[in-house]
Amino acid sequence: MMAKSIKRVVLIMLIGVFLYSGYQLAQYLYDGYKSSNLNDRIRERYEAAQKLKDNSQNAGHQIEQEALTEEQLKQIYQERFAPLLEINSDVVGWISIDNTGIDYPVVKSNDNDYYLNHNVEKKRSARGSIFMDYRNADLNDDLHTVIYGHYMKDGSMFGELSKYKDAAYYQGHDRIIFEGIEEPAEYQIFSVYIYSPEDQFFEYEFADEQQYHAYLDKITKKSRYDTGITVTPDDQLLTLVTCTYEVTDARLIIHAKRVA
């Protein structure tokens, strides 16, 4: 009788573990489904606003295009973000890499915790959002802009960044487009590496040009492969950060310099 009771308890425990695991998997898949739908809807609104402005610009200003002031052109560009800002005033831009699934709005909070588990609509989500470091203020003024995103096994969010561990992949995907609310910018990747807390040199601010130059030298040498790209203290940086699992608390770091 005792043996049967033990077997029954073990069976019940195994069933419980199975049901809990199934529930967790279902939650993960459902969260992925909701996240994908949300990003598709936001992307459609953003692209629709972009097309509307482009069509208006082509139709209404085709003849006097050259007569438009820089400020007017800037305003036309900025209006494409109106639908996104209606959803969330924390939106600061849009990031994309050609021929990848990385094509997302970027948000920024007053810390680096909130958007780890909240989506662009500020609803709870294990996938979180693509978000800018709260210490960044202005794309044009900041020397080093940092953007974070979860590594997801299905490739969503910043999941595809793991492909940059392969130098051959880098060759066909070396540019990052960040469309800030004020203006667009293009960046060229120059360094890819695995960062662990022991490295102790992932810096955001620099006391002077000499310190910045030393930092650029460090992160260039840290790269897993030579990209052949030269960086100088005159360059502005964009860094993408996501999880990786080579060591405890490791991060995959991708540094790029602004080229347009």
Q: By the 8 A CB rule, do 115 and 50 touch?
A: no
pLDDT score, position 2: 57
- pLDDT tens for 7-18 read 665 566 666 555
CA dihedral sign of residues 39, 41, 42, 44: positive
Alpha helix segments (H runs only) across the chain? 2-61, 70-78, 82-87, 167-172, 209-222
pLDDT score, position 33: 52
Residue 195, C-beta contacts closer than 8 angstroms, at least 6 positions apart: 202, 250, 251, 252, 253
Encoding tokens for residue 150?
A: 């979860």
C-alpha closest to that of 255 among 170, 186, 167, 193: 193
- pLDDT tens for 47-69 read 776 665 555 445 444 445 555 67
* CA–CA separation, 134 and 151 (whole Å): 20
CATH code, 166: 2.40.260.10
Give the range of the structural domain holding residue 250, as residue numbers without chain letter. Answer: 2-258
pTM score, two decimals? 0.82
* CA–CA separation, 134 and 136 (whole Å): 5
pLDDT score, position 21: 47
C-alpha closest to that of 174 among 240, 94, 235, 90: 240
DSSP-assigned letters across all residues of 74-135: HHHHHGGGHHHHHH-TTEEEEEE-TTSS-EEEEE--SSSSGGGSB-TTS-B-TT--EEE-TT
* CA–CA separation, 190 and 186 (whole Å): 13
* CA–CA separation, 124 and 108 (whole Å): 16
Residue 186 amino acid letter: E
pLDDT score, position 155: 93
From residue 219, alpha-carbon distances to 153, 202, 208 in Å are 27, 9, 17
* CA–CA separation, 173 and 26 (whole Å): 33
Q: Looking at the 3D structure of the chain, how many domains does it have?
A: 1
* Residue ranges in the chain modelled with pLDDT below 70: 1-36, 49-68, 200-201
C-alpha closest to that of 94 among 2, 188, 180: 180
pLDDT score, position 225: 98
Q: By the 8 A CB rule, do 253 and 192 touch?
A: yes
